[in-house]
Structure 1
Amino acid sequence: MATKRRPLRPNLAPGQSSGSNMNFRPGGPDITRSEARGTRPTAAPTSIREILVMGVIHLCKKTIFFNTDLKVALYLGSLFIISLIGDFLPFPKTYFARSDNLFNLYFVKVGWGWTLLFAVPFAVLSAYTITCGDMKRMLRHHFPRIVIATFFWFFWTKLFNIVETSYGRCTTKGFQSKSSCLRAGHLWQGFDISGHAFILIHSSLVLIEEARPIIKWETIKEHLRNELHNRSVSEKTGSNPLRGLNDEQMRSLQFLYTRLTPIIRTLFIGMAALQLLWDIMLVGTMLYYHRMIEKVISGIIAILTWYFTYRFWYPTNGLLPEAPGNGVFYYQRESVPFKRPTHLHTCTPSANNQASSSGLKANPNGSSQWSAGKVGGQSSSAQQQIPTFMGMPLFTNVKAASAAASLLQAEQQKREHQQAGVES
C-alpha cells in the first residue's frame, strides 16, 4: 500500500511560502537553472551485455595502455640482456624456435598487414566520429598518420635489406650476390639488422598510440545527453566540451557515435589482442633469432621513429597531422578531483564534535573550500567544504553551496533554540 511521503523539512514556519514545502532542498532564491540540482537527465539503464562489453574493454585498456615509457624501456633492456645471454648460452629449443611455426608464417611475416587491418578502420571511424562527420578534416588531420607509419616501415625494412646485401658475402666463393648464393643452396653472411624486431616494436607502438581515442570514449555519450538537455532549456553556460558545436554537428555526432561505437569497440579489442601477440612474438625473436647488436639497433630505430612521430611531431600545434583523439571537441580532459567531505558544518571543534556524535567524521583535508557568509546577522568566517554525493559535487559554484549552507545553519540554530527552550 502506498504511503504518504514525509516532508524533508517538517519544521517550517507557518508563514513560509508553499514553494518551500516541496520535497527537495532548494539552492536559494537567487540560484539560476545552471546552478540548480536535480535537473540533469539521468543515464538509461545498463544492460547485462553492456556491462560485459565494458568489462572486456576495461581489461583491454589495462593491457594495451600499460605505461608506454616503461614499456619502451623494457623493450630496450630486454633486447640487450636476453639477446646477449642467448649469444653465449643458447636457450632450449621450443616451437617458437622453428622459422616455420604458425605464428611466424601467418602473422609476423605479414605483421604490418595485420596492424593495418585493425589500425586503419579504427583510426578512420574514431576520427570521423570526433570530427562530427567532417570527411575532409579526418583525411587531412588523422589518416596521414597511417601513411607516415607505413612509409617508415617500408623505408627501414628496405634499408636493412640493402645493408645486408651490400656488406655481406656468400659462404662459398664465386657468388657475388645474395640471391645467387641462396639459389645455389649456400648461406649469405652479412650484418642482418633484425627486421622482425623492428616490425614487432614498431607495430606495437603504433597500435598503442592509434588506440588512444578509446580513452574516455564513453563520456561522449554523457556529454551528448547533458548538452542536448542544456539546449532544450536554452542554457548557454557550463563546461560541456560540446557546447561549441552547432546543431548540425550535434546531430552528426549523435548519429555517428550511436552507429559506430560497437564497431570501434570491436576493433579496439582486436588491436589489444594483436598488440599482446606482437609482444609474445618479440620474446621469441629475442630468444632465438639474430645477434644481440642486430636486434638492439633495430629496436632503437623503431623507438626513435615512434618518438619522433607520436611524441614530437603530431602533438606540435600547427603541424599536420594531429595527435590521435583530437577533433572538433576535446572529450579527454582530466577532471578536477574532489575530496569527499561528509557534512556541511563549519570546520570548528563544535562542528566536529557534532559530526562525530552523529556517526560522521570531519574531513579537514578537503581541497575545495568556501566561506559561509552571514547567517542570521552573524558573520561566519570559517571555511566549509563543497559537499559531494558518491564522489560528485552537489553544487556547481560557490553561490549555490553558500546559500544551501546558510539555510542549513539557520535551521540548526532554530532547532538549538527550541531545544534550549524545552530544557529551561
Structure 2
Amino acid sequence: MATKRRPLRPNLGGGQSNSSNMNFRPGGPDISRSEARGTRPTAAPTSIREILVMAVIHLCKKTIFFNTDLKVALYLGSLFIISIIGDFLPFPKTYFARSDNLFNLYFVKVGWGWTLLFLVPFTVLSSYTITCGDMKRMLRHHLPRVMIATFFWFFWTKLFNIVETTYGRCTTKGYPSKSMCLKAGHLWQGFDISGHAFILIHSSLVLIEEARPIIKWETIKEHLRNELHNRSVSETTGSNPLRALNDEQIRSLQFLYTRLTPIIRTLFIGMAALQLLWDIMLVGTMLYYHRMIEKVISGIVAILTWYFTYRFWYPTNGLLPEAPGNGSFYYQRDSFVFKRPTHLPNCTQPASSQVSSSGLRANYNGNGPTQQPQIPTFMGMPLFTNVKAASAAANLLQAEQKKGEHQHTGLES
C-alpha cells in the first residue's frame, strides 16, 4: 500500500509547519538572498532579426575560420598539382580565362585596395572597442599590423616586377626595356613570378587573421551584464574577464560595444565574402595564368610572410604590434570554468574512483575509500557561481546523502 512521501528536507523550515513538509524549499540551502542561485541578471529576449544576423555571422565564421594550417597546405598543394597539370594539359577555356573578365579587372587587379576597404575599419573599430576606447593603444598596437601587411604587399610585388624586367627579353630585338617592347606590340619574355597568386593568398591570410576578434564577440555583452551586476552588489570574487577594468573603462566598453557592434558585424560579413572571392579567383589563376614554378614561388613567399608576421612576430611578448584580439581584457576563453577556492571539497575524480551504493564517488587510496561531496550541476554546468552558495549546497548534499545511508543501514539491520 502506498505511503505518504517522506520529506527530503525535514529539518529545514525554521519550525514552520507549512515549509517543513515541502520536498523542495524555494530558497534552496540556508543562505542569504544575495548568495542564492538565480540572482544574476538574465539576457534580454532575442529578436527575429538578431537571430537571422547571428545565423549569417555563424555561416561566415565557418567559411573564413576554416583550419588555417590546412588551408595553407591546400594552397601549396593546389598551386603545384593544378598548375603542373595545366602546363601539360591545358584546361578548357572559360570566362575566367579571359584577362578582361569582370572579376579580374575590377577586383584582382586592385585586390589590396578591396582588402583595405574592409580591413582598416574592422581593425580600427574592433581594437578600439576591446581596448575600451584607448586610442593610443589602438594606434600603437593594432593599426600597425595593416601597415606592415601593406608594406610586404608593396615590397614583394615590386620585387617580382624587377625580377621580370631585369632578367627578361623582348621577343623582337631592338627593344631593351619591357615598356618599349610592350608599346611596340611585342611580347616580353621573363621569369614572371605570379603577382596575382601572391596578392590573393596574402590577402586571404591577412583577412583570416585580422577577423579573429569576432570570435566570441557576443560574449562581451554577457560579461558586461554580469560585471555590472557584480559591482552593483559589491561582489569582489569571480572569474569575469572585465573584473580588472575600472569604472570608466566599463562605461566606455559598454558604449562602444553597443554602438559599434552592428558596424563590426557588417564589415566581418564583407571580409568573409571577399576572402571567399579571393579563393575562387585563385583557382582561376591556377588554371589559366603563369607557369607552375612562378605560381608556387609566389605562394611560398605569401605563406612565409604570413607565418613570420602572424605566427612568429605578433604573438611574441614585448614586441610591437600585438596579435589580433588582444586588448584591455581577454574574452576569447574556450569555455566557462567554475573555479573554487582550495578550502572547498575537490570534486575532480581520478581514474581509480568508483561510485558507491549511495551515489557518492569513493576515491580509493592507500588508507581506504574516502567520500567527497560534489557541487550540484545541471547538464555539466554548476548551479552556483557564488562560492558561499556552492559550499553550502555541497555540505547540505553530503549531509542528506549520509543520512540516507544511515537510514538504509538501519532498515537492513
TM score, norm. by length of structure 2:
0.86
Deviations 1:177-205 (A, max 9, x none): 10010001000000000000000000000
Q: Which amino acid aligns with 1:322?
A: E
Q: What stretches of structure 2 of length at least 5 have no aligned partner?
A: 1-6, 339-346, 348-352
Q: CA deviation at 1:15?
A: 7.3
What does residue 388 of structure 1 align with? Answer: 377
Q: CA deviation at 1:42?
A: 0.8
Q: 1:270 to 1:409 in 2, by over 3 A?
A: same
Q: Which amino acid aligns with 1:16?
A: G
Contact 1:370–1:398 (Cα < 8 Å) also in 2: no
What does residue 374 of structure 1 align with? Answer: none
What does residue 110 of structure 2 align with? Answer: 110
SS of corresponding position for 2:370: strand
Deviations 1:200-249 (A, max 9, x none): 00000000000000001001001000000000001111111111111111
Contact 2:86–2:287 (Cα < 8 Å) also in 1: yes
What does residue 292 of structure 1 align with? Answer: 292
Correspondence 1:36-51 to 2 at 5 A: 36-51=36-51
Q: CA deviation at 1:155?
A: 0.5
In structure 2, C-alpha distance between the alignment counterparts of 1:404 and 1:370, rounded to whole Å:
21
In structure 2, C-alpha distance between the alignment counterparts of 1:333 and 1:416, rounded to whole Å:
41
In structure 1, C-alpha distance between the alignment counterparts of 2:37 and 2:12, rounded to whole Å:
26
In structure 1, C-alpha distance between the alignment counterparts of 2:12 and 2:156, rounded to whole Å:
84
Q: CA RMSD in A?
A: 3.0
Correspondence 1:223-234 to 2 at 5 A: 223-234=223-234
Bigger CA drift: 10-19 or 107-116?
10-19
Contact 2:373–2:398 (Cα < 8 Å) also in 1: no
Deviations 1:28-47 (A, max 9, x none): 55x895x6422211111111
Q: CA deviation at 1:393?
A: 1.5
Q: Which amino acid aligns with 1:234?
A: S
What does residue 357 of structure 1 align with? Answer: none
In structure 2, C-alpha distance between the alignment counterparts of 1:418 and 1:387, rounded to whole Å:
22
Q: CA deviation at 1:413?
A: 6.1
Contact 1:40–1:226 (Cα < 8 Å) also in 2: yes
In structure 1, C-alpha distance between the alignment counterparts of 2:94 and 2:13, rounded to whole Å:
88
Q: 1:16 aligns with which of 14, 17, 24?
A: 14
Number of matched residues?
387
What does residue 236 of structure 2 align with? Answer: 236
In structure 1, C-alpha distance between the alignment counterparts of 2:387 and 2:235, rounded to whole Å:
19
Correspondence 1:15-414 to 2 at 5 A: 16=14, 23-26=26-29, 28-29=30-31, 36-335=36-335, 348-351=355-358, 381-396=370-385, 400-401=389-390, 403-411=392-400
Q: CA deviation at 1:386?
A: 3.7
Q: 1:348 to 1:180 in 2, by over 3 A?
A: closer
Q: Which amino acid aligns with 2:358?
A: A
Identity of aligned residues (%): 83
SS of corresponding position for 1:350: coil
Contact 1:370–1:385 (Cα < 8 Å) also in 2: no
Bigger CA drift: 405-414 or 191-200?
405-414
In structure 2, C-alpha distance between the alignment counterparts of 1:221 and 1:310, rounded to whole Å:
28
Deviations 1:296-341 (A, max 9, x none): 0000000000011111111111111100000011111222679xx9
Contact 2:212–2:324 (Cα < 8 Å) also in 1: yes
SS of corresponding position for 1:41: coil
Q: What stretches of structure 1 of length at least 5 have no aligned partner?
A: 1-8, 353-361, 372-378
What does residue 3 of structure 2 align with? Answer: none
In structure 2, C-alpha distance between the alignment counterparts of 1:15 and 1:228, rounded to whole Å:
33
Contact 1:120–1:146 (Cα < 8 Å) also in 2: yes
Q: 1:88 to 1:419 in 2, by over 3 A?
A: closer
In structure 1, C-alpha distance between the alignment counterparts of 2:207 and 2:77, rounded to whole Å:
21
SS of corresponding position for 2:42: coil
Q: 1:205 to 1:48 in 2, by over 3 A?
A: same
Q: 1:401 to 1:226 in 2, by over 3 A?
A: closer
What does residue 341 of structure 2 align with? Answer: none
SS of corresponding position for 1:381: strand
Contact 2:358–2:401 (Cα < 8 Å) also in 1: no
Q: 1:191 to 1:276 in 2, by over 3 A?
A: same
In structure 2, C-alpha distance between the alignment counterparts of 1:406 and 1:237, rounded to whole Å:
21
Q: 1:316 to 1:420 in 2, by over 3 A?
A: closer
In structure 1, C-alpha distance between the alignment counterparts of 2:300 and 2:357, rounded to whole Å:
64
